[in-house]
Amino acid sequence: MTIKCGDKLPNVYLHENTPDSKVNISELAAGKKVIIVGVPGAFTPCCSKDYVPDFISDCGKYKSKGVDEIVCISVNDPYVMAAWGKDLNAGGKVRMLADGNGAFTKALGLEKDFADTLGTSSSRCKRFSMYAEDGVVKKLFVEPDGHSVTCSKSENLLSQFTDILVLRIVDMLPNINSKIHIEINVQKAKKNFPTCPTNGANISQVNIVSSETPKMCQIVASNAYHCSP
């Protein structure tokens, strides 16, 4: 059965750099916001020229939206994945993890025979991109034919995120120092919110995080960060 939004990531081990370095994908994603990208093979022309490099170059954008890790997986051995990552200058941006025996790919239900395109009869991974939060899949884009670059590209995944502007409400009464925070879900659209550090936003929802609301307060623009899709 193919994994879908709302499902938990499988409890499967991948490898990073060497066969001795195991990474449990479920543990890696626990309590984190993670992007997982799957590709048919390392060093393939399409994956090396644009697809994975786009996720590498967009790393800062993902981080600004609260993403903790970006992971690229392929049914290759860890030495090949490590060499590919070095060739792409992925260090510190995208972790290159090997699904050597295809256990993770099979657990996702995304295996495919790429004999016609890669000249191998062994199952490989369909091209996909995924956003998971605390180990639960929130967004998933799988290429219909398994290898084209359309819905799963970084540009499309980035467009799924909604910005959050964090404002600090500071009590203005002289003898009270209580502070609360509110979260305002916003979308970058029109410049109708001049104090927004993200150059304008439409306010769509306000969530009071603390119940201790001062009687008199002043809204002061604080740092901006971003929420999950």
Kindly report the average pLDDT of the chain as a whole number. 76
Q: What is the pLDDT of residue 168?
A: 37
If asked whether residues 28 and 96 sit together in one domain, one would say: yes
Active site residue ranges? 47
pLDDT band at 221; cut points 50, 70, 90: very low
If asked whether residues 211 and 100 sit together in one domain, one would say: no
If asked whether residues 62 and 131 sit together in one domain, one would say: yes
For the whole prediction, is pTM greater than 0.85?
no
Q: What is the pLDDT of residue 121?
A: 54
Report whether pLDDT(191) > 90. Answer: no
Residue 139 buriedness (CB in 10 A; 0-12 / 13-18 / 19+): middle
If asked whether residues 84 and 101 sit together in one domain, one would say: yes
Structure tokens at 140: 């998933």
Listed residues 158, 174, 199: the one ending a domain? 158
Q: What is the pLDDT of residue 162?
A: 66
Report whether pLDDT(108) > 60. Answer: yes
Q: Residue 209: which of 176, 185, 186, 229 has the closest Cα?
A: 185
Provide the domain limits for residue 215: 163-226
Mean pLDDT, residues 167-179: 38
Q: What is the pLDDT of residue 197?
A: 35
CA angle 156, 88, 114 (to 5 degrees): 65
Strand partners, 166: 183
Report percent pLDDT > 70 for the chain: 67
Q: Residue 155: which of 61, 46, 38, 34 has the closest Cα?
A: 61
Report whether pLDDT(57) > 80. Answer: yes
Q: Which residues contact 21 (CB under 8 A, 6 or more apart)?
A: 15, 78
Domains in the chain, number: 2
Q: What is the pLDDT of residue 228?
A: 31
Q: What is the pLDDT of residue 39?
A: 96
Q: What is the pLDDT of residue 115?
A: 67
Listed residues 104, 135, 158: the one ending a domain? 158
Report percent pLDDT > 90 for the chain: 56
pLDDT one-digit tens code per residue, 123-154 = 889 999 999 999 999 999 999 988 889 999 99
If asked whether residues 55 and 149 sit together in one domain, one would say: yes
Q: What is the pLDDT of residue 1?
A: 81
Structure tokens at 190: 């029109």
If asked whether residues 42 and 122 sit together in one domain, one would say: yes
pLDDT one-digit tens code per residue, 64-94 = 989 999 999 999 999 999 999 999 999 999 9
